[in-house]
Amino acid sequence: MAGNNEPYPNDIVDFCTLGMFILDDIDFEGTKPPVKNILGGAASYAIIGARLVAGKEHARSVSWIVDVGSDFPAEVLSVIKSWGTNCIIREDNDRLTTRAWNGYGPNEKRDFKYLTPKLRLEPSMLSDAQVLSKTFHMVCSSSRCISIVQEILRRREELHREGKVPSSVSATQRPIFVWEPVPDLCTPEEQETFLAANRVVDVVSPNELELGMMFGQPGWSEGTSHGKAIVERILAEGIGPDGNGHLVIRAGKDGSYSFSRRQRIWLPAYHQPDTSMPSPVVDPTGAGNSFLGALTQGMISSGRTPAIIVTSVLARSRAWQEAVKAGGANDSFLPALVFATVAASFVVEQIGVPHISTATDGRELWNETEFTERVRLYTQRLYRTLEESPQKHLQIN
């Protein structure tokens, strides 16, 4: 793996998303005016999350596909290029770019519909380098999740047999699959397929509303008997090929809850309510996708600057050290959850994607601050929280 200052080999992809690129129109409830032509879609936000964690040194290892129609705005293209990712742009002037409408209601309820025909990404569209990625992020139905994983693993085997795998890539190792179920198929009828799909991925992550709906409830809450029963059922059925994967429940302003057969983790959101100041949270669109992009990238980023910060700040936290140990081979999962929490904080601060710039001394800034600086601030807060109430946040089974 390339060190922090070495050029990144072109044949290495750390992260690949099968999410779609979409231009968003957003309607907010109340007095806020609607906005149009916003760079969006699960792909863009997941890429932002992964790119924040990768930093500019490893930007080229973050890969995706953007389908550009005849109506594609030039200014959106320049924003995408400013991130420096490994982006494959496919132009087709015979179609319109995929566009969608987002409507927000009370309690972060979101309505969503496509305004133009969507162009779904299939594993067959990925380049060889993308197929050999160390990690994959997917947003799809349960049945499609199973077929995507099967197809990617089949293509990797094929490339291996044909001797088309660069020596720098470990193609025999199974990649990490992180799956976000699509909201409109979180229904009791889908439950069995959902449980089957969980067994082929390493992380499954619905939000608390979607998880509740999947099990016939209005939402999920950890404190209820329903909530506990849902988690127990999912873990008993198993996540991942060995059953030891993670259920990560995204809970908006309440942060995230992660469960595996080994442990339970609750991490608060980065932005905490403060009555003395106006809230920095402007628009939650895409925060969940960015959370998962960062989580996915974070799971293969041990030894890099963000991971070193988390490890050093929490070195004296006994609760954290015990939780990392309990994670076994997944010791990069806990720091990845921290990166995910921090990445989401950048996305909610404006409508659309966070703004990238370079400081006079060459440091990369997002919304005028460094990603690693927020990681440090959040981890310091987390250290104090764990000292005060470790059981509330980390439990080992």
Q: Is the confidence at residue 8, as pLDDT, over 50?
A: no
- Give the position of tokens 């209601």: 105
pTM to 2 decimals? 0.94
Confidence category of residue 6, pLDDT binned at 50, 70, 90: very low
pLDDT per residue as tens digits for the range 226-282? 999 999 999 999 999 999 999 999 999 999 999 999 999 999 999 998 878 888 998
Show the DSSP H helices in the chain as ranges. Answer: 41-54, 74-82, 128-131, 142-161, 191-198, 208-214, 225-237, 287-298, 305-313, 318-326, 333-347, 371-388, 390-393
pLDDT per residue as tens digits for the range 371-384? 999 999 999 999 99
User: In the structure encoding, which two tokens stand for residue 207, read together?
Assistant: 């939000």
- Give the position of tokens 């950890």: 222
- What is the DSSP code (8-state) at residue 358? E
Confidence category of residue 107, pLDDT binned at 50, 70, 90: low
Query: In terms of CATH, what superfamily is 15-396?
Result: Ribokinase (3.40.1190.20)
Taking the domains of the chain in order of start, what are their residue ranges? 15-396
Beta bridge mates, 103: 27, 111
In this prediction, residues 99-104 reach a mean pLDDT of 88
pLDDT per residue as tens digits for the range 33-71? 888 889 999 999 999 999 999 999 999 999 999 999 999
| DSSP for 7-48, written as a single string | PPPTT--SEEE-PPPEEEEEE-STTSPPEEEEEEHHHHHHHH
User: If you average pLDDT over every residue of the chain, what do you get?
Assistant: 92
In this structure, the chain runs to a length of 397
